[in-house]
Amino acid sequence: MSHFCPAYPPPRGKLASLWGLFLSARHSWLDALSARAYQMQMGEVHLPGVDLYMVNDPAEVRRVMADEAAQFPKSALLADALRPLLGDSIFTTNGTQWRRQRDMMNPAFAQARLEASFPVMAAATEALVQRLHAIAQAGDEVDIEIEMTHVTADIIFRTIFSEPLTGADAHRVFEAFARYQALAPKLLMPALFGLRWMAWPWHARRSRRAAAEIRTLLEGLIRPRHQAWLAGERGDRQDILGAFLAARDTATGAPFSFDELVDQVAMLFLAGHETSASALGWACHLLANAPDVQQRMHAEALATMGTQPPQQPQMKDMPLIRNVFRETLRLFPPVGFIARESSQRCPMRDKQVPQGASVVVSPWLIHRHRQQWSAPDAFDPDRFAREDSRDALRDAYLPFGMGPRVCLGAAFALQEATLILACLVRSFTLAPLPGHTPMPVGRLTVRSENGVRLRIARREGAP
C-alpha cells in the first residue's frame, strides 16, 4: 500500500554560499537544509558568529541531551531571542537556577493533575466541535491550523487560570504571538551568522512590543491572585497558577517572586499551546490525505466513546489515534531543532568541538534520517505498532527531547491531542482542498507558511 508523502522544502543539492544560506535560514531554517544533512551522522558549519555542529548520530545525541547534559547547557543565543517574552523561565535557564525551577514546577504536572485537567480539555474540545459544526454547515472550507491554535490556547489558558480566554483578549494574544513568531528568525539568524547589524532595530522593537503585550495581559491576571495569596487567601482553584503560588524552593522554602511567576506562566502559555497547535494542524493535513486512516480512526473513536461525552480513562484505549499523533510528531516535530552550547572543548566522532560552539540536535532531521527509517517521508502511523520500527523508535525519535530537560508537558500534550483527534474524527470527515498544499516553515515551531486549509463535512449521526 502506498502512503501519502506530505510536501516540504526540497533539500539543497550542493553547498550554498554563506550569504545564500543566511537568506534562506532567515526565512525558515528548513530552507537551509542540504540533502546530505538527512544522511550524515554529524556535520559542521562555520559561521562568522558561531561554529555550528549538527548531530544526528544516536549515541552522540544521547550524550549531548542526557548522559553529559550538564556539559551542554541551553544555548545563550536562543535564550537571548526568547528573553523578551519568556524572561528567565525554565525553558532557557541552566544549572542550579533551572534545577530549582524544575523541582518547583514538577508537582503541577503530576498524574493526578493530568486527570484533574481532563474536564477542562473536554469543555474546550466540545467548544471546538461546535465551532466546526457551524463551519461545516455554512460552507465546507476551514483553515484548521487557526482552529487548532484556538482550542489549544483555550485549554492551556483554562488549565493555568481556571477561566477561558475570550473575545478581545484572545484576539490580542494570538495576533501578538503571531508577530513575535514571525520576527524570531529575523533576530536569531543574524546573531547566529555574526551579522547582528542585519537585525534591524525596528524588528527588535516590534518583537519587544509584541512580547510586552502578551506579558501585560498575563500580569493583569496573575497580580490579583498573587496579592490574595500574600494576604493569606488560598481560594479553591485547582489550577497551574495555584500550584505555582504554592510551590516552595526545597532548600530555602522561598516561593516564586512575582516576576518569576510571570516568566513561568508566559513560558507555559507559549510551550503549552504553540507546539500542540502546530502538531494538530499537521495531523489534520495528513488525515485529509489519508481517508483510509481517517475511517479506521472514526471506527476506533466510536467503539471507545460511543456518542457519549469522552472520559479520561478512554484516552489510553485508542492506540491507532495515539499512533497517528506520534507519527505526526515524527514527520512534523513542532520543536524541529534543539540548540545546546558546548561548555568545553570535546571530541565528537571525528571532530573536535570547540568551547562555545553551538551543538544542534534536530528532531526534524533525525525523524527523517535515511538510514534510520524506512520510507522516512511517508505518513505511516502503523509503523509504531510494527516490530521492524523498534530500533528507529529507540534511537531516532525524540519529539519531546530527552534527558533531564525532556518536555514537562508530554503527557499533557498526548492526552489533549488524543482527545481532540478522537472527537474530530468521530463527528467529521476531512478532505484536501484542491490546489492548496501546506508548506512547512521552521521558525520557533514548524508551522505552515500558507495555513492548513481543507474541506470539512459533518458525519451522518455525529454527536
CB closer to ligand HEM out of 34 and 343? 343
Q: Distance (Å, rounded) from C-alpha 225 to C-alpha 230?
A: 9
Residue 177 CB, nearest approach to ligand HEM (Å): 15
Nearer to ligand HEM, 97 or 166 (CB): 97
In 243-400, which ranges are E strands? 338-341, 346-348, 351-353, 358-361
Q: How far apart are CA 228 and CA 315, in angstroms?
A: 36
d(CA 184, CA 205): 12
Whole-angstrom distance, CA of residue 41 vs CA of residue 349: 9
229, 384, 412, 428: residue in contact with ligand HEM (rule CB under 6 A): 412
Cα distances (Å, whole numbers) of residue 67 to 63, 71, 76: 5, 9, 21
With binding defined as CB under 6 A, does residue 338 bind ligand HEM? yes
Binding positions for ligand HEM, 87-106, rule CB under 6 A: 90-91, 102
Residues in region 11-50 near ligand HEM by CB under 6 A: none
Amino acid at the residue 461: G
Q: How far apart are CA 353 and CA 53, in angstroms?
A: 8
Pick from 408, 421, 454, 462: which binds ligand HEM (CB under 6 A)? 408
Evaluate whether 4 touches 378 at the Cβ level (below 8 Å).
Answer: yes
Stretch that binds ligand HEM, among 41-49, 224-232, 304-312, 399-407 (CB under 6 A): 399-407
Q: How far apart, in whole angstroms, are the C-alpha atoms of residue 135 and residue 113?
A: 33
Strands 358-361 and 51-55: parallel
Least Cβ distance, residue 85 to ligand HEM (angstroms):
14
Q: How far apart are CA 275 and CA 41, in angstroms?
A: 27
Residue nearest ligand HEM, CB atom distance = 409
Q: Which lies closer to ligand HEM via its Cβ, residue 22 or residue 384? A: 384
Taking the least distance from each CB to ligand HEM, the nearer of 8 and 22 is 8
CB of 413 to ligand HEM, least distance (A): 4
**Rg for the chain (alpha carbons), in Å?**
22
451 touches ligand HEM by CB under 6 A: no
What is the rounded CA–CA span in Å between residue 102 and residue 404?
10
Per-residue contact flags (x/-) with ligand HEM for residues 117 to 156, judged by CB under 6 A: ---------------------------------------x
Q: Which of residues 267-286 bind ligand HEM (CB under 6 A)?
A: 268, 271-272, 275-276, 279
What does the alpha-carbon distance between residue 31 and residue 328 come to, in Å, rounded to a whole number?
A: 20
Q: Which residues between 152 and 191 bind ligand HEM (CB under 6 A)?
A: 156
Binder among 284, 392, 413, 456 for ligand HEM (CB under 6 A)? 413
**Cα torsion for 104, 108, 111, 112, to the nearest 10°?**
120
At 460, list the grid cell. 451522518
Q: Is 335 in the site for ligand HEM (CB under 6 A)?
A: yes
Contact positions with ligand HEM (CB under 6 A) in 207-266: none
State the number of binding residues for ligand HEM (CB under 6 A). 23
Q: Kindly list the residues in this chain that would bind ligand HEM in the complex (CB under 6 A).
A: 90-91, 102, 156, 268, 271-272, 275-276, 279, 329, 334-335, 338, 399-401, 405, 407-409, 412-413
